Amino acid sequence: MRIETVTSAQNPKIKNLLLLQEKSRARREQGLFVVEGRRELEHCLEAGFTVRTVFVCPDLAAPEGIGLPGASTLFLAPGRPIPSGDIPLIVEIPEALYRKVAYRESTEGIIAEVECRNIGLEDLDLPEHPLVVVLESVEKPGNLGAVLRSADAARADAVIVCDPLTDLWNPNLVRASLGGIFTVPTVAATSEETIAWLRAHGIRILTAQLQDSSWYYDVDMTVGTALVMGTESTGLTDIWRRAADAHIRIPMLGRLDSLNVSVSAAILLFEAVRQRNA
């Protein structure tokens, strides 16, 4: 492990960190993404991701350190030892510079560059009667992150993002998920690939839509189930409407006819939890 000190925003390491935060092309080309915050980095490490570089502000670092796999701890706060380990480079930066590169203030003074891990549908290891969330062309990283938090809370077995309009390693998505991107197996695929995969595994396709649909609580979710949702603006495309085994909807008692996709996902996921624990 090497430890360096950087104080200038013009340093190449700082410039590259900002580039990875801002540009999906840079993330693809370098195979790296950015994780900010102690809790998020702990989930990342527990999931077995490889950390290349940790940027830390000792004056802001949490005194309890970062929990590492194997019950060891990486202490980064002033006066605490930094043990050798699997993190090859630690870059210490002052508070003023940290606040320039951090997305938010309450992240315990730590940002990491991590190697991307892109898994496919064939890599998913499913239990009997799996519960899967499928999102079609959801654009906002914050919505995807919020869905991942609900998927983690409901112990969903996978989240599949079909025809994604944002990459899975967008810093806004990682941040909004609070580390859920690491705790729930998450895959990007086309709608056609996903439909074929769901059918091959005997997973029932339930599409959330207003037309020709049943109340969501009247549909059996105790079997292998895929909860499929689209965007609030356009909903699902016809390929999913035709592929569905059942169409479901959430009662809308007001004047509006749609919910945020992350809210819909939470409602449907916890109905599945209720049915499976009844």
pLDDT digits (tens, 9 = 90+) for 221-244: 999 999 999 876 677 889 999 999
Q: What is the CATH number of the domain that holds 215?
A: 3.40.1280.10
Q: Are residues 235 and 268 in the same domain?
A: yes
> Considering its fold, how many domains does the chain have in total?
2
Q: Are residues 108 and 239 in the same domain?
A: no
Q: Are residues 33 and 141 in the same domain?
A: no
pLDDT at 63: 63
Q: Encoding tokens for residue 96?
A: 């003023």
Backbone dihedral angles phi then psi of residue 195, each to the nearest 5 degrees? -60, -45
Domain of residue 57: give its range: 2-115
Q: Are residues 22 and 44 in the same domain?
A: yes
Look at residues 221, 25, 197 and name the one whose alpha carbon lies nearest to residue 130: 221
Q: Give the whole-angstrom CA distance, residue 261 versus residue 143.
A: 7
Q: Give the whole-angstrom CA distance, residue 248 versus residue 35.
A: 36
Residue 105 identity (one-letter amino acid): E
Residue 239 identity (one-letter amino acid): I
Question: For residues 97 and 10, is the Cβ–Cβ distance under 8 A?
Answer: no
pTM listed for this prediction: 0.88
Q: Give the whole-angstrom CA distance, residue 2 versus residue 132.
A: 41
Identify the bridge partners of residue 55 per DSSP, sorted by sequence position: 91, 111
Q: In the listed set 90, 115, 140, which residue is the last one of a domain according to the structure? A: 115
Other Cβ atoms within 10 Å of 227 Cβ, number: 28
Q: Encoding tokens for residue 259?
A: 């919910």
Q: How many helices (H) and strands (E) does the chain have?
A: 10, 14
- Alpha-helical (H) ranges within the chain are 12-22, 24-30, 38-46, 95-101, 141-153, 171-176, 180-183, 191-200, 238-243, 261-276
pLDDT at 89: 85
- The rounded average pLDDT for each run of 10 residues, N- to C-terminus, in the chain (278 residues) is 88 96 95 91 88 87 61 54 64 91 78 92 95 92 94 97 88 92 95 96 94 92 96 82 94 86 96 95
Q: What is the CATH number of the domain that holds 110?
A: 3.30.1330.30
Q: Are residues 103 and 197 in the same domain?
A: no
Read off the pLDDT of residues 186-214 as tens digits, 9 standing for 90 and up.
Answer: 999 999 999 999 999 999 999 998 888 89
